[in-house]
Structure 1
Amino acid sequence: MSRQLLAMALAPLLGLFILGIGNGFLATLITLRLDAAGESAVVIGWVSSAYFIGLALGAMLNDRLLLRIGHIRAYGSFASLVAVTVLLQGLVEHPWAWFALRLVGGWATVGVYLVIESWLLASGDAGVRGRLLALYMIALYAAGVLGQLLLGVTEAMGGAASFMVIGMLASLSVLPMAMIPRVSPLIDKAEPLSPLRLITLTPTGVMGSFGSGLAVAAVYSLLPLYLQRTGLPVDRIGQMMAVVVLGALLLQYPVGRWSDRHDRQLVLILIGAFCTLISAAVLWLPMTTWTLAGLLFLLGGGVFSLYPVAVGHSADRAPAGALVRMSQGLLLINAIGSALSPPLISPVMAVLGDAGLFWSFGGMGVFLVLFFGWRRSVRPAPVPVAPFSPSTPMSAAGAELAVTEELVQGAIEHEHMEDLSDVVPEVEVAEPLVGPPPADESRVAYFDDTPSVEGDEPAQAELPGIEPAVGRT
């Protein structure tokens, strides 16, 4: 990776890391504060769900603002809005006010991810995108671990101190983006495939993405509630949540490499069974602090590996021209699952007690095992066509990051090897899955924020190795 490319990627990655520290423990903080205020698990679930609803809405709408004002100003707008919503939560302690603020905060947060992911997408060619993606994942998970560890420190300050720290971090994350050279990337516009089309193309990928959304959202929003009600202090809760994120960081890649060498459907079945066993162990084994930490480490590795393996399975079946749109559609399915998770699982906790969380994890695991097993018996999975790439994209642009040249080439070769009428029945329709966009919308040129010498229009900025596009401005 060239020094120039690393310099271009450093600013967005540093901004992501700074903002991610605060965002890493915000969900935990909100859950603990609501529980301390005496709110029910159902109310906590709905407030937690608001954030994921905002993520889903932002993933569909925020690209329009980005195309209109450019990366740097869009990042400043979204990060500032994140800071404002968090600080307001420290001033107004009412669950339904927090619901509205979390909704707006989720919409703004996914805007930040969209800016960063699209920046990395356009910063280099396919030969370096894998390394850029790895740096993105390291920054995201490292910030999450550090943020959870800071939870106990900030809560010891009392009052609104934790919200103030998160708001300050969100504001500080603007500095790296504002101080870099004024170079603006290019990004393609694409619309995700509809859920109905996705179900036709890849039922296993849709269910895996949806199940991952349910499980991951429950980990972030309801696991802190379970830990607090078992009597753990706030600082220990932060440490346990950090262990979960650390398990996701360390185990995702080995699981993914394993899926490259075996049937991905079989790997998905085993992940579902593994999560079921871990949930049963938490429910029935005598718990010590170290036992619980070890089980949560394994649960994080299993739950967070589900989505990328499901996406990899879908990519193995996708026509070459539909890879990006399919990935974006699965991202939307994942966001829908995340939004539905707290309202669905919190009533189970209200009926069965706090252990209802792990009964829910176990039930989801059993259902996924049965579903994936049925799909494998109906239509066995093809041989993986490209190496696994660990990812948890937060926006539609992040889906494009994972679509490498090797994956496209593998999909093309896979189309030549099998009859598409059997693999993808809906390819034979009047309209193609992916067609060329109109000439004036094929690509959008971004401009920097610095006026030209004449003061009329901003000058178009060029990226190394990327020719400036001609399109609407």
Structure 2
Amino acid sequence: MSRQLLAMALAPLLGLFILGIGNGFLATLITLRLDAAGESAVVIGWVSSAYFIGLALGAMLNDRLLLRIGHIRAYGCFASLVAVTVLLQGLWLNPWSWFVLRLIGGWATVGVYLVIESWLLTSSETKVRGRLLALYMISLYAAGVVGQLLLGVTDAAGETVPFMVVGLLASLSVLPMAMIPRVSPLIEHAEPLPPLRLITMTPTGVMGCFGSGLAVAAIYSLLPLYLQRTGLSVTSVGQMMAMVVLGGMLLQYPIGRWSDKHDRQWVLIMIGTFIAGLSLALLFLPAQPGMLAVVLFFLGGGVFAIYPVAVSHAADRAPAGALVRMSQGLLLINAIGSTVSPPLITPVMTAVGDNGLFWSLGALGLFLVAFFFWRRSVRPAPIPVAPFTPRTPLSSAGAELCVTEELVQGAIEHEHAEDLSNVVPDVEVAEPLVGPPREEDTHIEYYDDADTQIGESRGEEFQTDRS
């Protein structure tokens, strides 16, 4: 990686890290504040889901603003809007006002991610995009860990101080982007596939991304609520959440490399079993912080690994021309899963107690295992056509730009092999032969499944016309 490229990538990554520190503990902070105010788990779930609704809306709409005003100005708009929504939340505590502010905040946050992802991936050559994406992930997860550890320090300073800190960090993150040379790459807009077409193309990929959205949103939104109600302090809650994010950061790459060498459907089955087992173990785990931290570390690793493995499996299935739209469609499916997760799980927690969170995660894991087993029996996974790339759920532009040349070439070869398997030769002999046949006496015609002639050969000469 050249010094020039590293210098161009440094500013967006630094801006992401600064803003990510505040966002790293904001979801946890909101959950804890609403619980301390006496709000029910259902209300907390709806406020949490507003953020993911904003993410889904932003994934579909924010690229238009980016194309209109450019990367640097778009980043300034989105980061400033994040700061405003957070500071307004610190002014008064009202769950329905917070619902609206969280929705706007989610829309603005995914806009920030869109700018950074597209900036990194369009300013680099294909051969270094994987490394830039790895740096992107490291910055995002490292900021999340630091943010969770910072939660206890800021909360002890006063009720409004944490919101002020998040707002200050969001505003401060504009400086690295504003100080770099004004050279903005351009991206192209691509519409996602219709949901029914996407489900038909890759049921396993769709269900994996949807299940990932359900699980990740539950971890971020409802796990802090469970931890606080078990008697942990705000500082301890932040530390436990940091262990979850750390597990997601450290275990995602080994699991992804494992999926490169084995059937990805089988890997998804093992991940689902792993999540179900850990969730059930948490129901009967002794109240020991050390043991709880270890289990949460591995639970985060399993939950965060579902999405990239499912996307890699879907890419193995997709034809070359549908890779970009498939990636954006799966991103939207993941956002929908994140949106409906808190409203679905909080009634379970209300009915059976706080342990309903882990009953729900365990049931989700078992459901995914059963679904992936069924899909594997119907249609086994093909040989992977492109290596696994570790990543978090991306924005629409980021998903578009993460489709590498290796992935496209592999899908083209895979589709070409399927086309050739449908070719049926029809051999005609012009007249009875006496003696050895001549090359010009053998006429072979090739047809596809629709009985349309696609080629013919005479002797060693073979010509095709697929137009």
TM norm. shorter chain > 0.5? yes
Paired amino acid for 2:70: G
Residue 176 of structure 1 deviates from its aligned partner by 0.4
The residue aligned with 2:332 is 332
The residue aligned with 2:177 is 177
1:358 equivalent in alignment to 2:349: no
Residue 249 of structure 1 deviates from its aligned partner by 0.3
The residue aligned with 1:138 is 138
Equivalent pair of 2:121/2:402 in contact (CA under 8 Å): no
Query: What aligned pairs does 1:438-449 form with structure 2 within 5 A after superposition?
Result: none
SS at match of 2:61: helix
Residue 400 of structure 1 deviates from its aligned partner by 2.6
> Does 226-235 or 391-400 show the bigger shift?
391-400
Paired amino acid for 2:216: V
The residue aligned with 1:255 is 255
Equivalent pair of 2:285/2:292 in contact (CA under 8 Å): no
The residue aligned with 1:292 is 292
Residue 420 of structure 1 deviates from its aligned partner by 9.0
SS at match of 1:186: coil
Residue 321 of structure 1 deviates from its aligned partner by 1.4
Residue 268 of structure 1 deviates from its aligned partner by 0.4
The residue aligned with 2:236 is 236
Equivalent pair of 1:259/1:388 in contact (CA under 8 Å): yes
What is the TM-score with the length of structure 2 in the denominator? 0.89
The residue aligned with 2:97 is 97
Equivalent pair of 2:307/2:393 in contact (CA under 8 Å): no
The residue aligned with 1:371 is 371
Provide structure 1 residue ranges, at least 5 long, that are not aligned to the other structure.
423-427, 430-473
CA distance, structure 2, for counterparts of residue 142 and residue 28 of structure 1: 16
The structure-2 alpha-carbon separation of the partners of 1:316 and 1:305, relative to structure 1 and needing over 3 Å to count, comes to same
The residue aligned with 2:461 is none
Residue 393 of structure 1 deviates from its aligned partner by 3.1
Residue 95 of structure 1 deviates from its aligned partner by 0.4
Paired amino acid for 1:359: W
Q: In the comparison of the two structures, how many residue pairs are matched? A: 424
Query: What aligned pairs does 1:19-38 form with structure 2 within 5 A after superposition?
Result: 19-38=19-38
The residue aligned with 1:436 is none
Query: What aligned pairs does 1:253-292 form with structure 2 within 5 A after superposition?
Result: 253-292=253-292
CA distance, structure 1, for counterparts of residue 374 and residue 421 of structure 2: 21
Which string of whole-angstrom CA distances, capped at 9 and with x for unpartnered residues, describes residues 267-320 of structure 1? 001100000000011012323111110110000000000000000000001111
The residue aligned with 1:148 is 148
Flag the structure with more relative contact order, 1 or 2, with Cα contacts below 8 A and sequence separation at least 6.
Answer: 1
What is the TM-score with the length of structure 1 in the denominator? 0.88
The structure-2 alpha-carbon separation of the partners of 1:104 and 1:420, relative to structure 1 and needing over 3 Å to count, comes to farther
1:303 equivalent in alignment to 2:309: no
CA distance, structure 1, for counterparts of residue 402 and residue 260 of structure 2: 15
Equivalent pair of 1:59/1:396 in contact (CA under 8 Å): yes
CA distance, structure 2, for counterparts of residue 254 and residue 278 of structure 1: 19
CA distance, structure 2, for counterparts of residue 144 and residue 259 of structure 1: 26
Paired amino acid for 2:197: R
CA distance, structure 2, for counterparts of residue 421 and residue 395 of structure 1: 37
Provide structure 2 residue ranges, at least 5 long, that are not aligned to the other structure.
423-448, 451-467
CA distance, structure 2, for counterparts of residue 130 and residue 402 of structure 1: 8
CA distance, structure 1, for counterparts of residue 93 and residue 179 of structure 2: 35
Equivalent pair of 2:189/2:397 in contact (CA under 8 Å): no
CA distance, structure 1, for counterparts of residue 123 and residue 196 of structure 2: 33
CA distance, structure 2, for counterparts of residue 144 and residue 394 of structure 1: 16
The residue aligned with 2:443 is none
The residue aligned with 2:200 is 200
SS at match of 1:381: coil
Residue 401 of structure 1 deviates from its aligned partner by 3.8
Equivalent pair of 1:269/1:372 in contact (CA under 8 Å): yes
Which string of whole-angstrom CA distances, capped at 9 and with x for unpartnered residues, describes residues 296-355 of structure 1? 000000000000000000000111111111011000000000000001111110101000
The structure-2 alpha-carbon separation of the partners of 1:347 and 1:421, relative to structure 1 and needing over 3 Å to count, comes to farther
Which string of whole-angstrom CA distances, capped at 9 and with x for unpartnered residues, describes residues 115-171 of structure 1? 001101211111110011001000000000000000000001012000000000000
SS at match of 1:76: helix
CA distance, structure 1, for counterparts of residue 9 and residue 138 of structure 2: 13
Equivalent pair of 2:67/2:186 in contact (CA under 8 Å): no
CA distance, structure 2, for counterparts of residue 419 and residue 300 of structure 1: 41
SS at match of 1:222: helix
Residue 200 of structure 1 deviates from its aligned partner by 0.6
Equivalent pair of 1:121/1:400 in contact (CA under 8 Å): no
Percent of pairs identical after alignment?
Answer: 81
The residue aligned with 1:394 is 394
The residue aligned with 1:223 is 223
SS at match of 2:388: coil
Residue 418 of structure 1 deviates from its aligned partner by 2.1
The residue aligned with 1:124 is 124
> Computing the radius of gyration over CA atoms, which structure comes out larger, 1 or 2?
2
Residue 28 of structure 1 deviates from its aligned partner by 0.1
Query: What aligned pairs does 1:380-419 form with structure 2 within 5 A after superposition?
Result: 380-419=380-419
Which string of whole-angstrom CA distances, capped at 9 and with x for unpartnered residues, describes residues 387-428 of structure 1? 100011331122134311111111111112224999xxxxx9
Equivalent pair of 1:121/1:397 in contact (CA under 8 Å): no
The residue aligned with 2:432 is none
